Structure 1
Amino acid sequence: MRKLLPLLSTHPHGGGRSALTCRFRCGDACFQEVPNTSDNEYVGDVIAGVLSRRSALRAAAVVTAATAAGGSLVLGSAPAAEAHGPGHGHGPKPAPKADGARGLRFSPVAPNTADQVTVPTGYGQNVVIRWGEPILRGAPAFDAGKQTAKAQAGQFGYNNDFLSLLPLRGEKDRQVLVANHEYTDEVLMFRGYDAQNPTREQVEIAWAAHGLSVVVVQEERRTGRLTPVARHHLNRRLHTTSRFELTGPAAGSALVRTSADRAGRTVLGTLNNCAGGTTPWGTTLHGEENFNQYFANGSSATDKRYGIGTGATERKWERFDKRFDLAQEPNEAHRFGWVVELDPYDPDSTPKKRTALGRFKHEAAQPRLTADGRPVVYMGDDERFDYFYKFVSSKRMMKGGSRRAHAHNLTLLDEGTLYVAKLTGDSPAAEIDGTGKLPNDGEFDGSGTWIPLATASAKGAVSHVPGMTAEEVFVFTRLAGDKVGATKMDRPEDVEPSPRTGRVYVALTNNTDRGKPGKAGADEANPRNLNKHGQILELAEHWDDPASDGFAWRLFLVAGDPNDPATYFSGYPKEKVSPISCPDNVAFDPHGNLWISTDGNQLGSHDGLFGVAVHGERRGELKQFLTVPRGAETCGPLIQDRRVLVAVQHPGEIDGASVEKPASVWPDGPGKIVRPSVVAVWRTDGSDIGV
């Protein structure tokens, strides 16, 4: 039996996540009532209430929920059927004799609580860039004791999350790094911070530390080391007071107009940017996640559905800008919760909030193309009992590097259809008992339907949800999902299609409320009550067509201690895998392996990054590649041939920690302030990762 390390926290809702993280990252979401109280046959005058309050539109009657039409689906094959080999559905497969799947040939890192980034033997690392490092011309060197809002606006932001590396033609050994900055933790940023009375300077520094960073990085050819190129002309900071443009079907709607923006098309800032995606046409996508926590004095039913509280906020921003006070600006919150598209190659461009992709707590947005070149974007809504979605564009990507092609491709995400997923298991309900025990067919699997919510086009938008206008569907997408009977999931976070097979992988982090009195119980896609470890769902689109309206699905991985019978690793021998808990972000390596970062590990170890084979005889072989320092979360994994990049987010975020009493000394050692940072890892012999 594997001996587990002691739990790091007794925080009642977070397990491996500290109360400090819950305060600043998601506004104590786990302490609040689950926003989705719907039985998915929602009836009421919610929309009427909010529109009446905002004097915006005449409300339409809300009617009984719609159901997906068309009957059952017949798929050509289940997900990755070719990958299962012997023993499909009948227990563990024989252990292969080789030393690992290609790309995963490294000695796994053991679970640990070291205050460092721990990597396999034979691998090196460097800190690429830290919070506060100057990237714009005129920005000063970081000085924690003399930080100003003006300085922070030219420096790398706080709590880096999603990462993208893009090629930079004409500049040898250079790439463009794009990073999200999810949130700020003022307790760990400011000495003597008074949470009840933040100063204007502290608030404005926090505004400037949110958002996005674009920074050119230089590669050292002998290793995988990366270093920032300060003051490069492409370097850029976008933050809470930067200008963003609303585009698509909700742009200009009465639902998004404010006293400062009567046209409803220009938004100041982007908030709580979590994971994202990189498009085939060279832009990056950024999901606005826990935006609700920044807004005070919410009151309407739609505010509650999005988790907006009725009182003051943790950061007290509403004291310094009325747009964060919904009693004064009731529509401001409707301008957040979107997917942002950024052109990193044009430092003068205005980023776009693409309203056709719906408004919810976007964890990520990763596109793929249909056979005829139309983008399909998969998205998770990171909330207990919320849904996962896809958007299918009606326009084809134009190939080539011409200005005309570029301009056309920057319109692809404004027209198309938004869908939400409904999953059905293929096992009798009596076999799904909430313990995680496999049903008699040996797998948690079934079929699914993509239910259309609304379609946007150049001629206008059409709702497919009875009782809701198209604008209401796009602005109140959660309510639309409620009405059509979408499947309540265990915190769907990152959603990533495999570039090799097209199979789609959904990280479901956890849901300790599942099965509690008055809450939804286990189903085949979410088979454990009080689920604290999470799972990975795999789906295959009907006819391998990402624009189809149906799919087959199965659980690829059910996380936890492999000694626990309620865990599952696609039939791979469980004594040969690393323990994993709370999958968060996912990415693919050049060999087609899935890499998983964790958030809130509840097995006693620090969070980490894991690689797992998804095809061949080693399907389900999962190995831990690294762990992060005390209190940190592993974010933004990016796996290249010779380099792995991770964003080490909120190091030292342990209950009781502060600037004066740090819980971590990473990355710069004792006496230095703890700083979220990006880390690169490479093979010290110069070879490719994991081969």
Structure 2
Amino acid sequence: MSSRPDSGRVIPLPLASHHSASRSSITCKYRCGNACQHEAPNTSGNAYFGDIVEAVLSRRGALKATGALALTVGGAAALSSGTAAAAPQPGPARGAVPGTDFAPVAPNTQDAVVVADGYQQGVVIRWGDPVVEDAPEFDFANQSAAAQEKQFGYNNDFAELIALDRTGAESLLVCNHEYTTEEHMFLGYDENNPTEEQAKIAWAAHGLSVVMVKRQDDGSLKPAPSRYNRRITLSTPFELRGPATGSDLLKTSVDPTGTTAFGTQNNCAGSLTPWGTILSGEENFNQYFANADAVTDPVAKERLGRYGLKGLASTRKWERFDKRWDIAQEPNEVNRFGWIVEIDPHDPSSTPVKHTALGRFKHEGAAVKIADDGRVVAYSGDDERFDYIYKFVSNGKVKSGTSALARRHNMTLLDDGTLYVAKFTGNSPAGEIDGTGKLPSDGKFDGIGEWIPLASGKESFVPGFTAEEVYVFTRLAADAVGATKMDRPEDIQPNPVNGKVYCALTNNSNRGSDGNAAPDEANPRIGNKHGHVLEVDDDTTGTRFGWNLLLVCGDPNDPGTYFGGFDKTKVSPISCPDNVAFDRHGNLWISTDGNALDSNDGLFAVPVEGPERGFVKQFLTVPNGAETCGPVVRDKLVTVSVQHPGEVDGASADSPASHWPDGGTSQPRPSVVAIWREDGGEIGRS
């Protein structure tokens, strides 16, 4: 039964005090290795806008300086300052834009998935549910690695539905399994003395799942046995492809050729390619490896440090059971993670691929756009404080269709092309970016940008770096060319309707503090705990782009927030944008991670064009301690991944803080949830 605690217009929360996002310490510990408690790995002295823009530049002057690049960001209405024209009158916050016509969910802290009025919800699949044939039923108290290899993995993040028929009655659900939280997985877990079986269960709980799902008469989705069903784990062979394949930097004792990696881990966001495959990003891989401090070679130490590899024993102690996790014994194993991987869900016997041409960093994900000339462009963000935004442009051209022949050809496109990193310039005087989030005099945060080439094939464009070094140590190469330090660039997706590219920048509490990079027009707030959403008008295969900030997130009562120029008294509070998706109308849907406004995380819809541009509305919230991940928005169905429910400080498997989704005294289980209209109608339509 759908539920919502309040009706009518959204009442913004009180202004929050200055503190970091609300992610619990246990989530920080197991997902990213407490990245925010350590100095950011990027200690380069890259310039920021205060250094670059010394003269007062008008927007027109900035455009002339780049060859009169035209910025067409949402038309004249979108570029106007102040309240958008024809904004709805005060009252119930229901938008007229197709796809966003629903009464918003109010902020809350319920231990439940709370959805908009008129909508139903149901769990599709949970951690431990059967995936492949002969998978046993889940038994929390008696887990085994053999069982987990056949069951749905832990902490589902990115998800996608690939329709197998015109009606979408049958689809393939593909999910990432980002990380494991052993203290919540095992009763009586001893973090100082994990068992080998517990480690092997965790290896099997990472990776991806492919599961057939069928639409039921009531609108829900249910898993079904299928030849497509598949688990990919930390033991699955992957083909290393692209210009770094066979590099000495990728060779190990198990793989002396540097051509086959085993497994994928910390897979965060992803995307469906136009040819029907899945791209998935390997993110916080550094935390799994031990004994970085045992390395004495200064070059090797610099490379490890730039990727956040420090310390001796790892959190999970996997190095006790397999030397691959010990840098002192296998110094190159760590270099085999941090890539974009591609899997073909249509062929369960296919070997997944790691694409070295897209560079190695903490990929949130990658998303592809086809250029007018048939080449493909892949956008990706490096999810770390003060790291960068990248794109890759292929040399080859796409073959249309999703046949096996087309898929095989198109999966080679990401192995040959040019890798770029982004440099942003604002068009406002530096003095107008004061770190509060106050808009500059032209009424918007916007400017121009340049894609700086790093490498293409075997050719490096970065002095002092070979091409192999650019691909394997991409962060260091990007440092060297002066890329712009961003506030945790996460999911980046092209909008299939207006062609622009949207990036969630989740937060950066260190912006402007302790000698860190000062605010700039693309990252305009000191101690940015709420994040923002970037809109890019890219020339796709070229090296120039225009940009603006669609949203500067936070409490609408805070003068340092911005909602595309829309009336802030009508919008839902939003904090820490993470994943982005689009409906067929071109509306942007945003899931959040670490809401710093004393409410549970949620899923939000916002038009990006017209008079309701910036009208943010909350569609759902997830349970206590959970994060909203991997939104999929179809005409009559929305799915979200509910990751790490119950991960709050002081909780554990022995003392759970949530009993979602099964209720009673059950353990919380990460799950995928489907939402549909009670009357069977379209999402967000009257």
Inter-partner Cα distance in structure 2 for 1:310 and 1:271:
20
Inter-partner Cα distance in structure 2 for 1:147 and 1:490:
39
Alignment of 1:73-152 (within 5 A): 73-82=66-75, 84=77, 88-96=80-88, 99-152=95-148
- CA offsets, 1:460-505, max 9 Å, x none? x110111100000000000011000000000000001100111011
Inter-partner Cα distance in structure 1 for 2:166 and 2:527:
53
Which of 483, 508, 516 is the matching residue for 1:519?
516
Task: Quote the residue 2:5 is aligned against.
Answer: none
Inter-partner Cα distance in structure 2 for 1:552 and 1:493:
19
Task: Quote the residue 2:423 is aligned against.
Answer: 422
Gapped regions of structure 2 (runs ≥ 5): 1-9, 48-62, 296-300
Query: Matched residue of 2:386: which SS?
Result: strand
Query: Matched residue of 2:563: which SS?
Result: coil
Task: Quote the residue 1:175 is aligned against.
Answer: 171
Task: Quote the residue 1:21 is aligned against.
Answer: 27
* 1:187 maps onto 2:180 in alignment: no
User: 1:93·1:573 contact (CA, 8 Å) conserved in 2?
Assistant: no
Deviation at 1:276, TM superposition (A): 0.4
Task: Quote the residue 1:639 is aligned against.
Answer: 633
Inter-partner Cα distance in structure 1 for 2:492 and 2:483:
17
Inter-partner Cα distance in structure 1 for 2:571 and 2:76:
18
- CA offsets, 1:577-602, max 9 Å, x none? 00000000000011110000000000
Q: How many residues align?
A: 650
* 1:491 maps onto 2:497 in alignment: no
Task: Quote the residue 2:58 is aligned against.
Answer: none
- CA offsets, 1:513-550, max 9 Å, x none? 01112111100000000010000011101xxx311100
- Paired residue type of 1:483: A
Inter-partner Cα distance in structure 2 for 1:632 and 1:565:
28
- Paired residue type of 2:97: A
Deviation at 1:660, TM superposition (A): 1.6
Query: Matched residue of 2:114: which SS?
Result: coil
- Paired residue type of 2:572: S
Alignment of 1:424-439 (within 5 A): 424-439=425-440
Inter-partner Cα distance in structure 1 for 2:24 and 2:593:
11
* 1:255 maps onto 2:252 in alignment: no
Deviation at 1:205, TM superposition (A): 0.3
Task: Quote the residue 2:4 is aligned against.
Answer: none
Which of 222, 243, 254 is the matching residue for 1:227?
222
- Paired residue type of 1:135: V
Query: Matched residue of 2:115: which SS?
Result: coil
* 1:292 maps onto 2:289 in alignment: no
Gapped regions of structure 1 (runs ≥ 5): 42-69
* 1:31 maps onto 2:37 in alignment: yes
Task: Quote the residue 1:67 is aligned against.
Answer: none
Task: Quote the residue 2:52 is aligned against.
Answer: none
User: 1:94·1:573 contact (CA, 8 Å) conserved in 2?
Assistant: no
Query: Matched residue of 1:84: which SS?
Result: helix
Shift in CA distance, 83/129, structure 1 to aligned 2, threshold 3 Å: farther
User: 1:79·1:539 contact (CA, 8 Å) conserved in 2?
Assistant: no
Which of 542, 550, 556 is the matching residue for 1:556?
550
Deviation at 1:678, TM superposition (A): 0.0
- Paired residue type of 1:442: G
- CA offsets, 1:181-219, max 9 Å, x none? 000000110000000000001000000000000000011
Task: Quote the residue 1:64 is aligned against.
Answer: none
* 1:413 maps onto 2:414 in alignment: yes
Inter-partner Cα distance in structure 2 for 1:519 and 1:402:
49
Shift in CA distance, 616/239, structure 1 to aligned 2, threshold 3 Å: same
User: 1:505·1:538 contact (CA, 8 Å) conserved in 2?
Assistant: yes
Task: Quote the residue 1:202 is aligned against.
Answer: 198
User: 1:600·1:633 contact (CA, 8 Å) conserved in 2?
Assistant: yes
Alignment of 1:239-638 (within 5 A): 239-298=233-292, 299=295, 300-400=301-401, 403-456=404-457, 461-541=458-538, 545-638=539-632
* 1:160 maps onto 2:156 in alignment: yes
- Paired residue type of 1:513: N
Inter-partner Cα distance in structure 2 for 1:313 and 1:412:
36
- Paired residue type of 1:335: R
User: 1:608·1:626 contact (CA, 8 Å) conserved in 2?
Assistant: yes
Which of 643, 655, 674 is the matching residue for 1:649?
643
Inter-partner Cα distance in structure 2 for 1:549 and 1:317:
43
Query: Matched residue of 2:396: which SS?
Result: coil
Tell me whether 640-649 or 545-554 shows the greater mean CA deviation: 545-554
Inter-partner Cα distance in structure 2 for 1:508 and 1:549:
22
User: 1:91·1:442 contact (CA, 8 Å) conserved in 2?
Assistant: no
User: 2:283·2:363 contact (CA, 8 Å) conserved in 1?
Assistant: yes
Deviation at 1:79, TM superposition (A): 4.1
Deviation at 1:96, TM superposition (A): 3.1
- CA offsets, 1:258-278, max 9 Å, x none? 111100011111010000011
Deviation at 1:448, TM superposition (A): 0.1
User: 1:5·1:605 contact (CA, 8 Å) conserved in 2?
Assistant: no
Inter-partner Cα distance in structure 1 for 2:169 and 2:379:
32
TM-score (norm 1): 0.92
Shift in CA distance, 604/83, structure 1 to aligned 2, threshold 3 Å: farther
Query: Matched residue of 2:527: which SS?
Result: coil
Deviation at 1:138, TM superposition (A): 1.4
- Paired residue type of 2:525: R
User: 1:13·1:30 contact (CA, 8 Å) conserved in 2?
Assistant: no
- CA offsets, 1:642-677, max 9 Å, x none? 000000000000001011211111000122111000
User: 2:427·2:447 contact (CA, 8 Å) conserved in 1?
Assistant: yes
Tell me whether 162-171 or 91-100 shows the greater mean CA deviation: 91-100
User: 1:83·1:616 contact (CA, 8 Å) conserved in 2?
Assistant: no
TM-score (norm 2): 0.92
Deviation at 1:380, TM superposition (A): 0.4
Task: Quote the residue 2:678 is aligned against.
Answer: 684
- Paired residue type of 1:363: E
Deviation at 1:400, TM superposition (A): 3.8
Inter-partner Cα distance in structure 2 for 1:479 and 1:347:
37
Inter-partner Cα distance in structure 1 for 2:168 and 2:436:
55
Shift in CA distance, 638/404, structure 1 to aligned 2, threshold 3 Å: closer
- CA offsets, 1:145-179, max 9 Å, x none? 11100000000000000011112249982100100
Inter-partner Cα distance in structure 1 for 2:166 and 2:549:
44
Task: Quote the residue 1:675 is aligned against.
Answer: 669
Identity %: 60
Query: Matched residue of 1:563: which SS?
Result: coil
Shift in CA distance, 79/304, structure 1 to aligned 2, threshold 3 Å: farther
User: 1:134·1:155 contact (CA, 8 Å) conserved in 2?
Assistant: yes
Query: Matched residue of 1:334: which SS?
Result: helix
